[in-house]
A and B are shown apart, each in its own frame.
Chain A
């Protein structure tokens, strides 16, 4: 059976752990690869992700039923478009209680879609408890940990924290140095555009640092996709 599109659910119950950054990176990764994506920003008040990709991202209020329809009905659309959901930390509980109430993961599996939770680790009890609760509720749903070394540093021994998380794998988003991180915030900076044609007015040092930051992240995304392809290969099963 044909493997359906990925549905990435990026989340954490904690604020400022880099969820929107991952959403941005994942969206730019697909655009850079020539794959159209559909994104959803569930922060209707300050939709940073939605503002950055206004052509690709819908801003929805996941606490309202109209917003839930705009979100979940689209996620289940059989159009081969990968979907990326940036779950605002304030709607984390509501989002997953809705998922449970409407049977979203079960329906996604029935439609052969591949929901993937990208859970953002943080050095807090809340973050760990949230990951365990999701894993206990939906053990069959693939969950990967995102370790954002800049937004949510886990100290000098991150493995001590990460080993407690139930997960099928992890992505690491390295920290960026201050001046480069500041450039990353520029509203006009498209990472996929940058990789295709770095702006000539950008410092060569910054360009190198930015490219050195993006490339290993995109490589991780690419490796993940290749592993998925291998897993779903008819000849290897």
Chain B
């Protein structure tokens, strides 16, 4: 397996970007793929709160932190790195990776690079797709529709929908289904990975006594997302044998 970076981002806040990072970490953990994560919500990380044992908070625009991420890709035992890009920072983060030469290394086949671009419901959010296009040619670039907020992604407006979703060249779309508010809030309060909540464990591994009903809803929701990751063959892509095409090919 080549070293891989999975970048999760959006130029808008509140679109469920960290939720997406969390479910990726849960999915990879369930498949025993050891993963590390970088939370660029500097200095206070939201992802860090849920996955403190694998997450480091970084400022992706600082050289020292870029070194923490990139210079360790070949030497670290952990081959998959998830970068949760803070709201509004996707273009900046991609630009920073371009300037460090990382994107050239991806082009040369040294690394695998995946981008999960979480979309919001505004036109501005859709405009990001065009903005970041120059940086994603060698990446597996997925658009993520997060339905946690009941967003319709302009499916009711065929012209707008076509303009953004049918012209862009991506590796595919990923749908994160809605999770009811009470279940979502209880996981927030618990401050644990979704999988720990389902397993009725606290962050330090003790029995938590969460409601079975809420755990059941979260389990079903996680399973549906896992089906989505299976559908896009995420594990195969990480192992370099996926069938999806990269954005620029």
Contact = CB atoms under 8 A, between A and B. Distances in A.
A and B are partners in one complex rather than unrelated chains: yes
Interface of A: 65-66, 68-69, 72-73, 76, 98, 101-104, 107
Contacts of B159: none
The 9 A-B residue pairs with the shortest CB-CB distance, nearest first, are A102-B216, A69-B213, A65-B182, A69-B211, A68-B213, A72-B213, A101-B220, A73-B212, A73-B211
Contacts of A69: 211, 213-214
Contacts of B183: 65
Interface of B: 180, 182-183, 211-217, 219-220
Given A69-B211, A101-B220, A102-B212, 9 more contacts: A65-B183, A65-B217, A66-B182, A69-B214, A98-B213, A101-B216, A102-B220, A103-B216, A104-B216
A69 to B, nearest CB: 5
Contacts of B219: 102-103
Nearest to A106: B216
A70 B217 CA distance: 15
A87 to B, nearest CB: 16
5 contacts: A69-B214, A72-B212, A102-B217, A102-B219, A107-B212
Nearest to B214: A69
Contact of A103 (B182, B211, B220): B220
A138 to B, nearest CB: 15
A73 B186 CA distance: 15
B211 A101 contact: no
A107 B217 CA distance: 13
Contacts of A107: 212, 216
A81 to B, nearest CB: 17
A76 B213 CA distance: 10
A107 B211 CA distance: 13
Contacts of A76: 212
Contacts of B214: 65, 69
Contacts of B182: 65-66
A76 B211 CA distance: 10
Contacts of A102: 212-213, 215-217, 219-220
A185 B157 CA distance: 57
Nearest to B182: A65
Nearest to A67: B213
B20 to A, nearest CB: 22
A7 B233 CA distance: 41
A65 B220 contact: no
Contacts of A72: 212-213, 216
Nearest to A100: B220
A66 B181 CA distance: 11
Contacts of B217: 65, 101-102
A65 B216 contact: no
Contacts of A103: 216, 219-220
Contacts of A73: 211-213
B221 to A, nearest CB: 9
Contacts of A65: 180, 182-183, 213-214, 217
Contacts of A98: 213
B194 to A, nearest CB: 15
Contacts of B212: 72-73, 76, 102, 104, 107
Nearest to A65: B182
Contacts of A68: 213
A68 B211 CA distance: 10
Considering residues B211, B213, B214, B215, which has the most beta carbons from chain A within 10 angstroms of its beta carbon?
B213
A48 to B, nearest CB: 25
A98 B180 CA distance: 12
Nearest to A111: B212
A68 B182 CA distance: 12
A98 B212 CA distance: 12
Give the most central of A66, A73, A107: most B CB within 10 Å: A73
Interface centre among A66, A68, A72 (most CB of B within 10 A): A68
